Amino acid sequence: MSETRFLFFSGKGGAGKTSMACTTAVRMASQGLETLIVTTDPASNLADVFEQSIGHRVVPVEGMQRLWAMEIEPDAATQDYKDRALAPVRGLFPKEILQVMEEQMNSPCTAEVAAFDRFTDFIATPEALGRQYNVIIFDTAPTGHTLRLLELPAEWSRTIEEAALSSGQTCIGPAAAIQEQKAKYDRAIETMRDPSVTTFTFVLNPEATSIKEARRSIDELRKLGISRFEIIVNGIVPSTESRNPFMAERIEMQQGYLAQIASVLPFPAKRMYLLDAEIKGVPRLLEVGRMLFDGDTGHHLSGASADAEAVAVVQLSPRESVLDRILPQGTSRRTIFYAGKGGVGKSVLSCVTAVWLARRGLRTLLLTTDPAAHIGDVLEETVEARVSPSVNVPNMFTARIDAKAAAEAYKARILADARKRGRPEEAIRAMAEELDSPCTEEMAAFDEFIAYASMPDWDVVVFDTAPTGHTLRLLELPVDWSAQLNVKIFASVDTAAADDVAKQRFGEVIAMMRDPAKATFAFVMYPESTPITEAYRAIKELETIGIHPGLIVANQVLQPEVCVTPYTRSRRAMQVKYLSEMRERFSAPILQVPLMPREIRGVRDLTRIGEQVLGPVQ
């Protein structure tokens, strides 16, 4: 086994994984340990926290000796992977066969496996990194995506092994050319299962959905043979704020969840307070490290004077301009996509919007594509993997996309279609093998997404999407696939049967997403630096495929009237600065949603918030 220790940071989006991972990295380096922090999150914030450029190569962190960082960049990882996978077979096959292989590896899922292939380099072969690290820290994507990442080594190892015994081809390249990857994946699995070198730290907030997701994810990791866990409870309001009636209510709520965490998550635990300013830069990270590891509680306040900003009223957008992006226009259906950094409140805002629209008499479908599927918790009702009427809200229907179930149905439908077309049995077997790969889940989930988006049954469809990086992958799929739908996967297998079903709907749905009269992309963010930066990046990327933001949501905004202590005034001052920045950076209307003293749960809360921010139901 390697002497390197591996620390994985995971948890519900927005819980503070990156801040806690960076704090831990700085702490380790300050104690003389050679430390590397790597992010596997497609929407990385490492550069924002360290306040320097990082990118797809290992670089030293400025102002901190013995600390290095890297952001795995999907496009660069994909090109590296393709070059490495095809190099051994170049010169061995005719040009036509190589062309088929190259086209095969242009599939969208190659980007995913390439990033994960790079990720396993750090685990399986740390000695090849050019430097001996004592600690390698992984700042992972939100848990639904992270579980997908950690399942891949086992799945790809099986896929490569089975392909080597039959066609010799996989959707990630020729089996013969990637046997080395199989050995690497096997070593990565072995290392992740070794509790003497690998620890998974879950960062969670004292909230119901955060606790539920941590428990679910730990159960899933145990199925993969991973056994060593720790937790960090982040975002705890300091007890000194109990003199503020608004914060006292939040403290009371959090105390109940802290007791629940101690009961249901019996692992080594640390606690971290919600600070009055952002965690950015090495000096601040060192300070936070003293709070996290030493129990130093003397740094809740940044010392900034914020009296003027605390009472400032930021004028954003008239309600009418917001409703123009929420309500259907004429006879056209409105499709609303809520997107943004994990944990900023997309699920709650999706539910608020859907309930408000349904109460107006509009036939509304609320759909989640988030692997963690939180809308059921918010609604306090079960959300099935099929369209079902809400038990509490007339005119509202809900559904969640279950990627695994969708993949099974997708495979069965494609193979049945191929048989109906009279494909030879040899081709059917080859297609079945091709479809029996981890890529099929993503492909099937998107196919189901397309089916829902094509339905004529609704006045409004509200999508609670997965966190930004994963959502961009989902939305880019039709653009990526459109150039490949007539490409042969194998030299002898025509893939028209597999692609015709989806191809006929792609153009219509892409056109809908690009039409501001029919579709609204609503980006949710806290008025803080990293959510704003991530949303801005995502918006710029979407604009390259002809999609523009229709609405910006500033969520959990402290209202001036509750800012009666230095702590709350300082947090309000930080928010006012970023509300002004949001107004300058984004051209779409901005909806401001206040921070509530307690979690928003159930139809009563959702109805009240909807009327507060969107207006009375008419």
Tell me what pLDDT residue 364 has: 96
Specify the pLDDT at position 265.
95
| CATH number of the CATH domain containing 201 | 3.40.50.300
Give the pLDDT band of residue 309 (cuts 50, 70, 90). Answer: low
- Based on the fold, state whether residues 200 and 66 are members of the same structural domain: yes
Give, in order, the Cα–Cα distances in Å from 109 to each of 173, 577, 579.
12, 40, 37
pLDDT of residue 535 exceeding 70: yes
How far, in Å, are 234, 277, 396 from residue 528 at the CA level?
Answer: 17, 9, 33
- As a whole-number percent, the residues of the chain with pLDDT over 90 amount to 37
The pLDDT value recorded for residue 504 is 59
Give the model's pLDDT for residue 87.
Answer: 67
Domain holding 16, by residue range, is: 5-75+113-145+185-294
367 pLDDT more than 60: yes
Q: Kindly report which listed range (99-103, 133-137, 506-510) carries the lowest average pLDDT score.
A: 99-103
Q: At what angle do helices 143-164 and 468-482 cross, to 10 degrees?
A: 40
In a domain, 94, yes or no: no
Query: When comparing pLDDT for 445 and 405, which is higher?
Result: 405
- Percent of the chain at pLDDT above 70? 73
Give 455: exposed, middle or buried? Use CB within 10 Å, 0-12, 13-18, 19+: exposed
**Average pLDDT, stretch 282-288?**
94
Q: How far is CA 262 from the centre of its chain?
A: 27
Q: Mark whether 214 and 323 lie in a shared domain.
A: no
Confidence of residue 371 (pLDDT cuts 50, 70, 90): low
Q: 171, 164 in Cβ contact below 8 A?
A: no
Q: pLDDT by residue (tens digit) across 210-268?
A: 898 889 888 888 888 889 999 999 999 999 999 999 999 999 999 999 999 999 999 99
pLDDT category at 466 given cuts 50, 70, 90 is low
Of the pLDDT bands very low, low, confident and very high (cuts 50, 70, 90), residue 489 is very low
Is 254 domain-assigned?
A: yes
Mean pLDDT of 282-296: 91
Please enumerate in sequence order all residues whose Cβ is within 8 A of that of 469, keeping only pairs 6 or more positions apart, or say none.
41, 42, 43, 141, 145
Asked if the structure places residue 152 within a domain, the reply is no
Classify residue 309: in a domain, yes or no: no
- Of 90-99, 205-214, 220-229, the one with minimum mean pLDDT is 90-99
What is the pLDDT averaged over residues 41-47? Answer: 72
**Same domain? 283 vs 394:** no
Buried b (16+ CB within 10 A) or exposed e, 261-293: beeebeeebbbbbbbbbbbbbbebbbbbbbbbe
Q: Supply φ then ψ for residue 535, to 5 degrees.
A: -65, -40
Which residue, 246, 261, 294, sits at the end of a domain? 294
55-59, 243-247, 305-309: least confident range: 305-309
3-state SS assignment for residue 23: helix
Residue type, 263: S
Neighbours of 151 (CB within 10 A): 17
Residues 475, 603: one domain? yes
pLDDT for position 268: 96
Number of domains in the chain: 2
Instruction: Decide if pLDDT at 472 tops 60.
Output: no
What does the alpha-carbon distance between residue 248 and residue 246 come to, in Å, rounded to a whole number? 5
The Cα diameter of the chain in Å comes to 77
Asked if 350 and 284 sit in the same domain, the reply is no
> Would 32 be classed as within a structural domain?
yes
**222 and 138 belong to one structural domain:** yes
pLDDT for 553 equals 95
- For residue 157, tell me if it sits in a domain: no
Say which residue, 397 or 528, is predicted with more confidence.
397
- The reply to whether 367 and 329 lie within a common domain is yes
Decide: helix, strand or coil at residue 509.
helix
Residue in this structure with the two tokens 């497609």, named with its chain if needed:
42
Q: Let me know: does 473 contact 108? Beta carbons within 8 Å.
A: yes
Taking the CA of residue 355 as centre, how many other CA atoms within 13 Å lie in the half-sphere pointing to its CB?
Answer: 28
Q: Are 369 and 398 in contact (CB under 8 A)?
A: no
Q: Same structural domain for residues 200 and 331? A: no
Mean pLDDT computed over every residue of the chain: 80
Q: Which of 522, 467, 478 is nearest to 148 (CA)?
A: 467
Q: How far apart are CA 124 and CA 140, in angstroms?
A: 17
**Bridge partners (DSSP) listed for residue 241:** none
Residue 82 lies in a domain: no
pLDDT per residue as tens digits for the range 590-611? 999 999 999 899 999 999 999 9
Query: Do 364 and 438 share a domain, yes or no?
Result: yes
Q: How far apart are the first and last CA of the chain?
A: 66
Highest mean pLDDT among 7-16, 72-81, 560-569: 560-569
Measured in residues, the chain has a length of 618
- Is residue 314, in this structure, part of any structural domain at all? no
Contact indicator for 385, 444 with CB cutoff of 8 Å: no
Enter the tokens of residue 208: 């119901």
Do 407 and 277 fall into the same domain?
no
pLDDT digits (tens, 9 = 90+) for 424-458: 777 677 667 666 665 667 667 767 777 787 778 89
The SS3 assignment for 530 reads: helix
- What value does the mean pLDDT take over residues 96-121? 65
**3-state secondary structure string, 151-175?**
HHHHHHHHHHHHHHCCCCEECCEEH
The residue-averaged pLDDT of 469-498 equals 46
Choose one of 294, 311, 328: the last residue of a domain.
294
Q: Is residue 495 very low, low, confident or very high in pLDDT (cuts 50, 70, 90)?
A: very low
Query: 465 and 420 in one domain?
Result: yes
Q: What are the CA-CA distances from residue 570 to residues 18, 250, 282, 366, 574 (Å)? A: 22, 18, 21, 37, 6
Query: CB pairs under 8 A, 24+ apart, for 261-265?
Result: 261/204, 261/206, 261/211, 261/231, 261/233, 264/211, 264/215, 265/202, 265/211, 265/214, 265/215, 265/218, 265/231
Other beta carbons within 10 Å of 517: 13
Domain boundary among 279, 294, 309: 294
